[in-house]
């Protein structure tokens, strides 16, 4: 199988002018978008790269419809109505807040000074709307990480403003964990002390103790790169997984902990078959199979599984996960790349190539 991996990489590399570019977290840019040597997604009913939706991890028709209305009319009322009708402690509300904030941030990046006007209008015309305040806070967090460098004055200033808006949003919706979950990302960027973080985490747990999105945000804070250590992050993840209610996707949290600590570059295939990685993958696969269908966080876990399944050459399982999530790529690990759709397309092409090299075909997968 090592030889297979090498041959796949070399075949794809032939379509690219220039050396192999090693990517962060073990990703590899192997083929240029649109290369004739890339696997054709149409053979497997996969969505073409240019049509992949980078705004959300999986389908949410109500959210997609409202986003289309908001972005075409620049009116905020439909967004406010959707959030008002979404349960406060639900993963869906958290994802919708993220999606609205991300849409405004992307608009602003494409049309500086003009894009995302609907969010500014929303806050100006309805300053007491809880949904608008939550989206504004998340927008500021995303802007800090996208447009400035951690540790700089600009980065800190934006996150300080985000913390202020979180404080404004919390009393507008008592019992809503979202303002505190947004602040978890602020805590990571501003370097909250352990007691400060513990106080914030307690507020989240009081409102939504099994919230997967909150645990992912807390895991980032506890990762070695920021304030904790790899051991503390692993303990946090395994403890949460052990305490997870039946059917909860928190059982997949250890795989996210492994991802947080992937080396910058890793070409040793044995790493992805090690006991630690294999155990975390099996836990995530179990969580996916046991989860409630329609769980908004299911797509998040499936997307991360695709990276690990491909890197460990488990082609058939990778193809199965691709069938479930293809079309939407607004999730880790793809969103760590400046071009999430292109990064996802590379791994999808690798999965197809490995699957076919081992006897698979569209007929066997789709039949």
**Is residue 237 assigned to a domain?**
no
Residues 182 and 260 occupy one common structural domain: no
Residues 146 and 270 occupy one common structural domain: no
Residues 266 and 121 occupy one common structural domain: no
pLDDT block averages, 10 residues each, the chain of length 367: 42 35 40 46 88 91 95 96 93 94 93 93 97 97 92 95 97 94 94 93 95 93 64 86 90 93 64 88 95 91 97 95 95 92 96 92 79
**Is residue 96 assigned to a domain?**
yes
**Is residue 142 assigned to a domain?**
yes
**Is residue 78 assigned to a domain?**
yes
Letter string b/e over residues 211-247, b meaning 16 or more CB atoms within 10 A of that residue's CB: bbbbbbbbbbbbbeebbbeeeebbebbbebbeebeee
**Is residue 236 assigned to a domain?**
no
Q: What one-character DSSP code corresponds to residue 46? A: P
For residue 222, the domain's CATH number is: 1.25.40.10
Can you give the residue range of the structural domain that contains 159?
61-228
Residues 190 and 124 occupy one common structural domain: yes
Q: Are strands 21-22 and 28-29 parallel, antiparallel or unpaired?
A: antiparallel
Residues 271 and 314 occupy one common structural domain: yes
Question: What's the domain count of the chain?
Answer: 2
Helix or strand holding residue 96 (H, E): helix 91-110
Residues 152 and 70 occupy one common structural domain: yes
Residues 34 and 98 occupy one common structural domain: no
Residues 48 and 65 occupy one common structural domain: no
**What pLDDT does residue 281 have?**
95
Q: Rounded to 5 degrees, what are φ and ψ at 126?
A: -140, 65
Residues 284 and 304 occupy one common structural domain: yes
Asked if 324 contacts 364 with a C-beta cutoff of 8 angstroms, the reply is no
- Distance separating alpha carbons of residues 319 and 356, to the nearest angstrom: 11
Residues 309 and 324 occupy one common structural domain: yes
Residues 316 and 333 occupy one common structural domain: yes
**What pLDDT does residue 263 have?**
67
Asked if 347 contacts 28 with a C-beta cutoff of 8 angstroms, the reply is no
Residues 271 and 257 occupy one common structural domain: yes
**Is residue 238 assigned to a domain?**
no
Confidence (pTM): 0.84
All residues at 6 or more sequence positions from 321 whose CB lies less than 8 Å from its CB, including other chains: 302, 303, 305, 306, 309
**Is residue 249 assigned to a domain?**
yes
**Is residue 234 assigned to a domain?**
no
Q: How far is CA 166 from CA 86, 102, 118, 234, 275, in A?
A: 19, 17, 19, 28, 40
């Amino acid at each position: 199988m090592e030889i297979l991996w090498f041959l796949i990489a070399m075949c794809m590399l032939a379509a690219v002018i220039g050396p192999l570019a090693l990517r962060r977290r073990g990703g590899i840019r192997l083929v240029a978008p649109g290369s004739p040597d890339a696997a054709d997604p149409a053979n497997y009913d996969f969505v073409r790269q240019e049509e992949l939706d980078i705004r959300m991890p999986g389908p949410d028709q109500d959210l997609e419809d409202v986003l289309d209305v908001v972005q075409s009319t620049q009116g905020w009322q439909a967004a406010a109505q959707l959030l008002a009708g979404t349960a406060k402690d639900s993963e869906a509300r958290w994802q919708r807040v993220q999606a609205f904030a991300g849409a405004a941030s992307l608009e602003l990046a494409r049309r500086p000074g003009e894009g995302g006007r609907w969010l500014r209008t929303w806050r100006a015309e309805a300053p007491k709307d809880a949904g608008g305040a939550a989206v504004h806070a998340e927008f500021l967090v995303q802007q800090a990480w996208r447009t400035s460098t951690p540790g700089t004055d600009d980065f800190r200033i934006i996150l300080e403003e985000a913390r202020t808006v979180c404080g404004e949003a919390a009393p507008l919706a008592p019992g809503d964990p979202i303002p505190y979950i947004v602040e978890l990302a602020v805590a990571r960027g501003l370097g909250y002390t352990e007691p400060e973080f513990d106080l914030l985490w307690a507020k989240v747990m009081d409102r939504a103790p099994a919230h997967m999105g909150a645990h992912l945000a807390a895991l980032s804070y506890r990762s070695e790169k920021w304030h904790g250590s790899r051991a503390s992050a692993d303990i946090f993840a395994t403890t949460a997984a052990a305490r997870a209610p039946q059917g909860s996707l928190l059982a997949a949290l250890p795989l996210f902990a492994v991802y947080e600590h992937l080396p910058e570059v890793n070409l040793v295939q044995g790493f992805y078959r090690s006991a630690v990685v294999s155990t975390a993958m099996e836990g995530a696969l179990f969580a996916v199979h046991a989860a409630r269908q329609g769980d908004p966080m299911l797509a998040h876990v499936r997307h991360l599984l695709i990276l690990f399944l491909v890197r460990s050459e488990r082609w058939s399982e990778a193809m199965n996960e691709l069938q479930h999530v293809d079309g939407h790529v607004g999730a880790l690990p793809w969103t760590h790349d400046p071009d999430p759709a292109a990064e996802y397309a590379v791994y999808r092409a690798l999965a197809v190539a490995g699957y076919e090299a081992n006897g698979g075909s569209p007929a066997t997968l789709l039949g």
